[in-house]
Structure 1
Amino acid sequence: MVVGAGNSAVQVAAELAQVARVGLAGRAPVRFFPQRPLGRDLNFWLTVTGLDAAPLGRFQSRPATMAVIDDGRYRAALATGRPERRPMFTRVDGSTVAWADEGKEEVDVIILATGYLPDLDFLAPLGTLDRTGRPLHRDGASLAHPRLAHVGLEWQRSLSSTSLRGVGRDARRAARRIARELRSC
């Protein structure tokens, strides 16, 4: 049983379904976005339009969920039932998952591919987190400490802040800001 409805969950479930019986459980329906809109790779369009680097993170009060980027194979796999799409189970008891309709099913493995939030509780004593445990920052620059910066946060600055395409750009920006701060001392 793979849990999730995003890229990782769907990709892992579809690959495993080639060699085993696999369920894909999640709270939300799987949404798809084409890998090659208008014949070009999605990353091409994100780069050409500037959306990949647009500083939209400050307008995201809550990070948006992403659709599964698909070249057609994942939608086709789900359409054939390999993996089998299921609603989220309500309980786990040993190796048995229980469904809302009172049905039960034995599973060998549960893979959680649900996305993860950073655990930054160690920063709480510095006063750098909001009430939800997320860093108080603007574009990665800490609002509490001028020499503290964050990189790799979801929608830190742009859509690509958590990706290899964007984290380097955000890190360079943070390093320049900290260097300016240190020069002013």
Structure 2
Amino acid sequence: MSAPADVVVIGGGQAGLAAGYHLRRLGLDFVILDGQESPGGAWRHTWDSLRLFSPAAYSSLPGRLMPPQPGETYPDAAHVVSYLTDYEQRYGLPVHRPVRVTGVHRDGELLRVETDSGTWRTGAVISATGTWSRPFVPAVPGRTEFRGLQLHTVEYRGPRDVAGQKVIVVGGGNSGAQIAADLAYDAHLTWVTLREPRYLADDIDGRALFDHATARRRALDEGRTDTGGVASLGDVVAVPPVRAARDAGLLKAQPMFTRLTASGVEWSDGMTGDADAIIWCTGFRPALSHLAPLGLRGPRGHIPTTGTRAVGEPRLHLLGYGDWTGPASATLIGVGRPAREAARQIADLLR
């Protein structure tokens, strides 16, 4: 199949749907190409106990409030999947799935999007593939020697997989804290972090984080002093399960080990610890391999952007990868504004 479209959006998760909402409002012809089998994006693959940082009303995409989940202040991942499914259907967004994009190429005045289901030629591309498909595990010495189970955040589902075992959770961010709290009651837990965990104040949730990120972007745009962004507040949002495990004394972080052994880990002072399983909550990298033919990659694997627009290719916008593509743009509540700006800039370009 070879088809034209004003805009091709790559990725049908929250960022891709937000882009589709604004492209539709501007009257543009577009398609959304999604590699998943069904709606929901990365939320379809999270661990069982994951909860949002914010109440439903503050976790919404543009145009449609997320309804509350009965009995829950902070909705779970299944509720988010249901919301995204309804959002896609409510606005009749033209999502094609499963379609895997293999490359985006320059093709004269157009861009050519190659996929396993055919080719689209388009005036502009919005890349909204996120990071979930590119888990990062640091190159710690001895990783191949360890004989136990190694999982990344993307593979963890719940305590049942390691109940009663000696488990080391690596990572001092939100995923590390939440998974450590999840395991604190059912496994022999060791939580390892690069530095002492920095908890945000207990009354801070996603609403406050979004406001803080937005204020920082406004300050930078106006040439004022950098407020430091969300990172200046701390690393871990104290959602109720994390708060409960912390207050019960079950989340006591140890410093990062220096190497893995066949049976566990070893610290710089020679101390060792046995482990049956290690769970790496060590983050992700942006999934941008489909953009490699454009030759735009910069430091740390990022593509330099002005807002969401790629500096080296004005027909390409990147959406939802983190603050470098818009304040809090990797969150449900935060992606709407950069999605709107990307759609407006593309409309101006095509006209």
Match for 1:69 among 212, 234, 237?
237
Aligned to 1:18: 185
Task: State how far apart, in whole Å, the 2-side matches of 1:22 and 1:78 are.
Answer: 13
Measured in 2, the distance between the counterparts of 1:57 and 1:11 equals 31
Aligned 8 A contact 1:25 1:85 in 2 = yes
Q: AA paired with 2:171?
A: G
User: How far apart in 1 are the matches of 2:215 and 2:329?
Assistant: 10
* Partner residue in 2 for 1:31: 198
Describe how 1:25-174 pairs up with structure 2 within 5 A: 25-36=192-203, 42-46=205-209, 50-54=211-215, 56=217, 65=231, 66-70=234-238, 74=242, 77-78=245-246, 80-120=248-288, 122-174=290-342
Q: 1:132 to 1:44 in 2, by over 3 A?
A: closer
Distance change (3 Å), C-alpha of 1:51 and 1:131: closer
Asked whether 1:182 is paired with 2:346, we answer no
In the TM superposition, residue 75 of structure 1 has moved relative to its aligned partner by 5.5
Percent identity between the two aligned chains: 35
Aligned equivalents of 2:219, 2:175: Cα separation in 1: 26
Distance 1:178 1:54, change over 3 A: farther
| Contact 1:3–1:24, Cα closer than 8 Å, also in 2 | yes
Aligned partners of 2:216, 2:176: CA distance in 1, in Å?
28
The one-letter code of the counterpart of 2:181 is: A
Change (3 A) 1:46 1:30: closer
- Residue 282 of structure 2 aligns to a residue whose secondary structure is coil
- Superposed CA deviations along residues 121-163 of structure 1, whole A, max 9, x for unmatched, are 5534423222332111011111111110001122135442111
Q: What is the Cα deviation at residue 17 of structure 1?
A: 0.4
Contact 1:25 1:87 in 2 (8 A): yes
Normalised TM-score (structure 1): 0.78
User: Residues of 2 paired with 1:57 and 1:113: CA distance?
Assistant: 31
In the alignment, the residues of structure 2 paired with residue 53 and residue 32 of structure 1 have an alpha-carbon distance, to the nearest angstrom, of 21
- Cα RMSD over matched residues? 3.0
Larger Rg: 2
Shift of 1:172: 2.6
1:30-77 per-position Cα deviation (integer Å, ceiling 9, x unaligned)? 00112415xxxx444456xx43434729958x9874521115763663
Deviation of 1:179 (Å) = 2.1
Judged with a 3 Å threshold, the aligned counterparts in structure 2 of structure 1 residues 163 and 5 are, in CA distance, closer, same or farther, namely same
Per mean C-alpha deviation after superposition, the further-off stretch among 129-138 and 1-10 is: 129-138
SS at match of 1:147: strand
TM-score by length of 2: 0.44
Q: Quick one: distance in 2 between partners of 1:132 and 1:45?
A: 28
Distance 1:32 1:131 in 2: 30
Q: Is the 8 A contact 1:7 1:69 kept in 2?
A: yes
Q: 1:20 to 1:121 in 2, by over 3 A?
A: same
Contact persistence 1:57–1:159 (CA under 8 A): no
Give the AA of the match of 2:178.
Q
Aligned equivalents of 2:218, 2:189: Cα separation in 1: 36
- Structure 1 spans left out of the alignment, 5+ residues: none
CA distance in structure 1 between the partners assigned to 2:208 and 2:193 by the alignment? 29
Code of the residue aligned with 1:53 in structure 2: it is: T
Q: Deviations over 1:15-37 (max 9, x none)?
A: 21011111111111100112415
Alpha-carbon contact 1:141-1:150 (below 8 Å) kept:
yes
Once the two structures are superposed, residues 78-111 of structure 1 have per-residue CA deviations (whole angstroms, 9 ceiling, x without a partner) of 4654234111111112331111121221212111
